[in-house]
Each structure stands twice: as C-alpha cells, then as structure tokens.
Copies of this chain bind each other. A is one copy, B any other.
Amino acid sequence: GILGKDSIAGVGVDQELISSVPSWNETFVSRNFTNAEIAYCQSQPSPAASFAARWVGKEAVFKSLGVSSKGAAAPMKDIEILPDAAGVPMVTLHGEAQSAAESKGVSKVHLSLSHSETIAIAFAQATTS
C-alpha cells in the first residue's frame, strides 16, 4: 500500500584501507563499537576486516543522514550495525544519531558492506516512509 512506499532522504558511500582502521586500538574500538558489534567482529574469520567494514558502514550511514560532521566527536557508537539471520547488515540508531534521523524523518537506513583483501567499502541509503 501507499504507506509502505519510501522516499530517499540521502545516500552515503565510504571506503578505507583495512590497514588504516585501528582495530587493534582498544580505545578506538570501545569508543566506536557496541559490545554486540565487538563480539560479532571478534567471532569472524578476519576481525580486522570486520571492524573496518563496520567502520566504513558507520561513516556511510552518517553521510546518508546528511548532518554536519562533528569530526572526532561524532557519535559512531550510536550507529550500530549487526547482521540479521540472513547476514544482511541491519542499522540501529541510538542517541544523537537517532535524534538526527528523526529530525529528518528517516525511518530506515539500508546498508551493504564489502571487503576485499585490502579495502573495505560501504553503501548506505536513508529512507523516509
């Protein structure tokens, strides 16, 4: 029905060299990832690649919301990315990220992640409904 139709609020793309995401740094990790994300990444074949993919995922989601960056103060922990039963990355927003999304009428952010040997990339799409 009509109520289920989406309107696009914004898109976001981000990429990083996996080696440039400091997933070995406990302060970086605890500051930017939730406990559930940390447990998931550490259970994967390549935790560094999983952390990097989630990191660029958070950046892509942030870009899709179309709000000004706060640089190092951006609440990346407020953008939580966990796989559903089929392995699709699902985005849950908390705190300031949730407030920003609500202020823009964003009800859902679709996300896809990819990593090769060296590069992690993410694409996000924020929709209103």
Contacts and interface: CB of A to CB of B under 8 A. Distances in A.
Interface of A: 2, 4-8, 10-17, 20, 60, 63-64, 66-69, 85-88, 110-114, 116-117, 119, 121-125, 127
Contacts of A88: 10, 63, 66
Contacts of A16: 116
A15 B60 contact: no
- Sort A-B residue pairs by CB-CB distance and give the 10 closest, nearest first: A13-B123, A13-B112, A68-B86, A11-B110, A12-B112, A66-B88, A5-B5, A11-B112, A6-B7, A14-B114
A8 to B, nearest CB: 5
Nearest to A56: B114
25 contacts: A2-B5, A4-B7, A6-B6, A6-B7, A6-B8, A8-B8, A8-B125, A10-B112, A11-B110, A11-B111, A11-B125, A13-B113, A13-B114, A13-B121, A13-B122, A14-B114, A15-B116, A17-B116, A17-B117, A20-B116, A60-B112, A63-B112, A66-B86, A68-B86, A125-B125
